[in-house]
């Protein structure tokens, strides 16, 4: 999964990528307006934006040159320049949301992302912009994750955050949400597929608001833009682009998570895959990544050992976490409904997990989970392994 030409030096060192660097200088309001108009003008994509800025030294001069350039190239009608009034309305809408634009030609744009091929010319950011200047690791995975997957996401996000990395993810259900929640205190960045004011999924409103206060939200889309299916791969490319490496926790054979892994490989990022049970379909993708050369990853220290030399820091040795299984005393007065049984069964997989992990995955009270496990056990659907560990029986995990 790693590019054979992958640099082994810090991403802050110049000359790691082939394209010509853009001039970097702080923009005033007039300059931002011109850059936005250039980006939104007809036929101006990321590569064209870069070439125009390099050729003319600024967006205003490039805008002035566009009509003549298109005419010389044989275009039958003039290019449609993005109207000044429309650009002003977009920037005003972003300001009302508490967001601000940042362009590739400005200081503060994520350096790692700026160095990928054809980076987004502009991002809207909301929250702590200083996080964009720190080393990042992405943690992504299945939306329909198991309790074991959620436990792993929390462990990796917590320990990598403690080691100094900002955790990047996509604000999706499942693994993404757990990674963000865990890393709020140490630093987390959520990459959105829609506008900065569009919360998706809607149930992550509270998480969105807390990231806006304590972390950072970023998107390349205009305010008010509702994401479509084709926008999520673009978001995934940014997730891998801002990061030094991507940790994959549970991914089905065909999933958006694997799109992120593919982009990471193309961008020369490290791809860390956590192996899963062969009978669990949520592990088919991650196990396939390992066959394709991803880094076998069993604990956060595996990530730190690889990224330490890349960042120019010594690999850290993390203390072994201590896990104490809770003592569960079920209550015969609690009844589990069909929805509760389904929720508990959905959180389980072939890999044994403790009751604590099921609590975090389902949000159900411990006593209700214990009753549900008892009923599932009576139905022959779960297997107990001692020390409060439980898993689905193999035929249930198919």
Determine, yes or no, domain membership for 300.
yes
Last residue of a domain, one of 266, 295, 311: 311
Q: Specify whether 300 is located in the same domain as 199.
A: yes
Residue 265 has pLDDT above 80, yes or no: yes
Q: Specify whether 148 is located in the same domain as 257.
A: yes
Identify which of 361, 302, 8 has the alpha carbon closest to the alpha carbon of residue 177.
Answer: 361
pTM above 0.85, yes or no: no
Q: Specify whether 304 is located in the same domain as 344.
A: no
| Domain carrying residue 172 | 129-311
Q: Which range is least confidently modeled, 238-247, 301-310, 371-380? A: 371-380
pLDDT band at 9, cuts 50/70/90? very low
Determine, yes or no, domain membership for 104.
no
Give the pLDDT of residue 395: 65
Residues 366, 351: Cα–Cα separation, whole Å: 20
Q: Specify whether 293 is located in the same domain as 227.
A: yes
More confident residue, 347 or 161: 161
Give the pLDDT of residue 323: 37
Q: Specify whether 281 is located in the same domain as 366.
A: no
CATH of the domain at 392: 1.10.10.10
Determine, yes or no, domain membership for 317.
no
Indicate the number of domains in the chain. 3
The terminus-to-terminus CA distance of the chain in angstroms comes to 28
pLDDT band at 22, cuts 50/70/90? low
More confident residue, 324 or 348: 348
**Mean pLDDT value across residues 180-194:** 97
Residue 392 has pLDDT above 90, yes or no: no
Determine, yes or no, domain membership for 253.
yes
Determine, yes or no, domain membership for 108.
no
Determine, yes or no, domain membership for 155.
yes
Residues 218, 100: Cα–Cα separation, whole Å: 10
Q: Specify whether 272 is located in the same domain as 180.
A: yes
Token pair for 247: 């940790």
DSSP assignment of 251-267? --SS-HHHHHHHHHHHT
Q: Specify whether 191 is located in the same domain as 268.
A: yes
| Model pLDDT for residues 41-80, shown as the tens digit of each residue | 988 888 889 888 888 889 999 999 888 877 765 666 778 8
Residues 382, 377: Cα–Cα separation, whole Å: 5
Last residue of a domain, one of 311, 346, 378: 311
Determine, yes or no, domain membership for 322.
no
DSSP letter at 133?
G
Residues 82, 121: Cα–Cα separation, whole Å: 15
Determine, yes or no, domain membership for 124.
no
Residues 157, 188: Cα–Cα separation, whole Å: 9
């Amino acid at each position: 999964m790693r590019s054979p030409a992958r640099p082994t030096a810090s991403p802050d060192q110049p000359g790691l990528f082939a394209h010509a660097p853009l001039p970097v200088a702080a923009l005033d309001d007039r300059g931002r307006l011109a850059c936005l108009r250039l980006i939104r003008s007809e036929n101006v994509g990321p590569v064209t934006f870069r070439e125009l800025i390099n050729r003319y030294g600024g967006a205003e001069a490039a805008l002035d040159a566009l009509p003549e350039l298109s005419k010389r190239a044989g275009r039958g009608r003039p290019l449609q320049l993005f109207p000044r009034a429309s650009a002003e309305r977009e920037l005003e809408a972003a300001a009302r949301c508490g967001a601000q634009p940042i362009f590739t030609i400005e200081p503060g744009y994520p350096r790692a992302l700026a160095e990928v091929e054809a980076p987004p010319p502009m991002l809207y950011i909301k929250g702590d912009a200083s996080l964009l200047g720190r080393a990042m690791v992405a943690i992504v995975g299945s939306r329909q994750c198991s309790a074991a997957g959620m436990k792993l996401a929390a462990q990796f996000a917590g320990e990598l955050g403690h080691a100094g990395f900002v955790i990047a993810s996509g604000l999706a259900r499942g693994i993404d949400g757990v990674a963000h929640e865990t890393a709020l205190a140490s630093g987390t960045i959520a990459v959105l597929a829609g506008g900065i004011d569009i919360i998706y999924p809607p149930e992550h409103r509270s998480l969105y608001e807390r990231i806006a206060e304590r972390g950072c939200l970023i998107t390349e889309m205009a305010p008010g833009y509702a994401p479509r299916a084709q926008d999520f791969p673009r978001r995934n490319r940014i997730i891998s682009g801002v990061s030094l490496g991507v940790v994959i926790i549970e991914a089905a054979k065909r999933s958006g998570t694997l799109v992120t892994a593919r982009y990471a490989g193309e961008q020369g990022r490290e791809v860390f895959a956590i192996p899963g049970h062969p009978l669990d379909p949520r592990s088919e993708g991650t196990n396939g990544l390992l066959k394709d050369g991803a880094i076998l990853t069993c604990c956060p220290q595996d990530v730190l050992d690889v990224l330490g030399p890349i960042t120019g820091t010594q690999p850290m040795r993390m203390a072994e976490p201590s896990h104490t299984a809770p003592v569960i005393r079920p209550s015969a007065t609690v009844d589990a409904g069909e929805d509760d049984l389904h929720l508990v069964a959905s959180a389980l997989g072939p890999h044994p997990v403790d009751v604590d992990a099921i609590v975090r995955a389902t949000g159900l009270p411990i006593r209700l989970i214990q009753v549900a496990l008892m009923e599932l056990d009576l139905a022959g659907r779960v297997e107990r392994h001692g020390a409060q560990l439980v898993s689905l029986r193999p035929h249930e995990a198919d």
